[in-house]
Amino acid sequence: MDGKKDVLILAIESSCDETAAAVVRNGREVLSNIISSQIALHTLYGGVVPEIASRKHIEKINQVIEAALSEAGVALEDIDAVGVTYGPGLVGALLVGVAEAKAIAYAAKKPLIGVHHIEGHIAANYIEHKELEPPFLCLVVSGGHTHLVQVEDYGSFTIIGRTRDDAAGEAFDKVARAVGLGYPGGPKIDKAAREGNAEAIMFPRARVGDSLYDFSFSGVKSAVLNYINGCQMKGVNWNQADVAASFQKAVTDVLVENAMRAIREYMAEKFAIAGGVAANSALRSAMTEACEERNVRFYYPSPVYCTDNAAMIGAAAYYEYLNGTRHGWDLNAVPNLKLGER
Ligand code: KG4
Ligand code: ZN
């Protein structure tokens, strides 16, 4: 930091089913990253139950924060600011993190910085790629979002494409349920697809007529359901691994195609992916290949920084801190917060 004082952020994330806290130094160095996952609990119900998620966050959040501070070897007094996800997400889940962050910041007399969850996902790329700086193009693919984003600067974004219906991760989760793989769908399809033939079934690659960069995934999801129903009605066996691999190929083909179109049109030299689906091995290798062909530098976070975590919120909060963003004690959870809104 060239003699400048280090900035330590305590970050909190509770927007969905992970209770997470982290300590991040100067936006890019993770001193601790604690994640308490509720996956086992929600698996019983085949998906996230919001009320259960909120209750679990309340039970876990203090332990998770204490663990984050102690693993980082820092006390609250050493922290420069508290960063917290305040949207988008499940309102009850978000509220737990926001209330906790406000209480800590108020008691410790530290600034409070509300962070947009998607800004966090994008910032996950800064942690392991010290040289990555805006501007770059980023594809954010998670359970709730599918956005092609032009990252103009730290904290400054333009969304150039988005899903018209299901998010990419949502499609993975729904198809996984339909083919009997269960929850959470993405990693299970990823694994099953390795044993299958991606060319076995030609599922549709949806084009959104009036937009170059928008996505639609409800069609491919319905096509998978129809295929399985059709096989069952005809009494024909279908192969789970082939369906998983062919579905995954249909989704990744469209993600790669739209991203490469945007790279061409925007003349992007750097491209990143982020969000839970960015952990997908087929997507990572297809994007690597497509970017190599075009001489575009390609960035992706390690799987632990793709799915929900607090280190990414700490990275985003650091740049908001430098930009002067400070929230008041009236900060509230905003379930449908738009990217770029304050
Ligand atoms: O970013 P994330 O943890 O939470 C949201 O902000 O939504 O993303 C969760 C989503 C889930 O839909 C999950 O199935 C998907 O990311 N996911 C994957 C993989 N790992 C997680 N999808 C495909 N392949 C994976 N390996
Ligand atoms: Zn997320």
What tokens were used for 42? 């929600």
Spatial distance between the Cα atoms of 82 and 11, rounded to a whole number of angstroms: 6
With cut-offs at 50, 70 and 90, classify the pLDDT of residue 2: low
Query: Any idea which ligand is nearest the CA of 175?
Result: 1
Q: How many CB atoms lie within 10 A of CB 204?
A: 12
Predicted confidence at residue 340, as pLDDT, reads: 79
**Residue in 121, 142, 309, 312 to alter for ligand 1 test, most ligand atoms within 8 A of Cβ:** 142
Spatial distance between the Cα atoms of 318 and 73, rounded to a whole number of angstroms: 19
Does the pLDDT at position 99 exceed 90? yes
* CB-based contacts of 298, cutoff 8 Å, min separation 6: 271, 272, 287, 288, 291, 292
Query: According to DSSP H, which parts of the chain are helical?
Result: 39-43, 50-72, 91-108, 117-128, 168-178, 185-193, 218-234, 240-266, 281-294, 303-306, 311-323
Q: Buried (b) or exposed (e) across 38-75, using 16+ Cβ within 10 A?
A: beeebeeeebbbeebbbbbbbebbeebbeebbeebebe
With cut-offs at 50, 70 and 90, classify the pLDDT of residue 342: low
* CB-based contacts of 16, cutoff 8 Å, min separation 6: 48, 53, 89, 90, 93, 143, 144, 308
What's the gap in Å between 239 CA and the centre of ligand 1? 23
User: What is the spatial order of strands in the sheet that 156-162 belongs to?
Assistant: 156-162, 146-153, 136-141, 270-274, 297-299
Nearest Cα residue to 25 out of 7, 13, 12 = 7
What's the gap in Å between 312 CA and the centre of ligand 1? 15
How many residues in the chain?
Answer: 342
Residue of the CA atom closest to atom 3 of ligand 1:
307
HSE (side-chain half, CA atoms, 13 Å) at 30:
25
Predicted confidence at residue 209, as pLDDT, reads: 79
For the segment 53-77, the average pLDDT, to the nearest whole number, is 97
DSSP secondary structure letter of residue 187: H
* CB-based contacts of 77, cutoff 8 Å, min separation 6: 108
Does the pLDDT at position 229 exceed 50? yes
Predicted confidence at residue 1, as pLDDT, reads: 47
Does the pLDDT at position 30 exceed 90? yes
What's the gap in Å between 307 CA and the centre of ligand 1? 6
Does the pLDDT at position 222 exceed 50? yes
Ligand 1 pocket check for 144: Cβ under 6 Å: yes
Mean model confidence pLDDT for the chain: 96
Spatial distance between the Cα atoms of 121 and 169, rounded to a whole number of angstroms: 14
Contact 326, 111 (CB under 8 A): yes
**Percent helix / strand / coil, the chain, rounded to 5:** 45, 20, 35
Contact 243, 196 (CB under 8 A): yes
What's the gap in Å between 117 CA and the centre of ligand 2? 6
Q: What is the pLDDT of residues 262-285, one digit of tens each?
A: 999 999 999 999 999 999 999 999
Q: What is the pLDDT of residues 277-318, one digit of tens each?
A: 999 999 999 999 999 999 999 999 999 999 999 999 999 999
For the segment 98-109, the average pLDDT, to the nearest whole number, is 98
Predicted confidence at residue 47, as pLDDT, reads: 84
What tokens were used for 260? 């490469």
* CB-based contacts of 100, cutoff 8 Å, min separation 6: 12, 14, 61, 62, 65, 84
Spatial distance between the Cα atoms of 201 and 224, rounded to a whole number of angstroms: 9
With cut-offs at 50, 70 and 90, classify the pLDDT of residue 206: confident
* CB-based contacts of 243, cutoff 8 Å, min separation 6: 175, 179, 196, 200, 201, 224, 227, 228
Q: What is the pLDDT of residues 6-22, one digit of tens each?
A: 999 999 999 999 999 99
Does the pLDDT at position 95 exceed 50? yes
Ligand 1 pocket check for 65: Cβ under 6 Å: no
Predicted confidence at residue 302, as pLDDT, reads: 98
Spatial distance between the Cα atoms of 239 and 37, rounded to a whole number of angstroms: 31
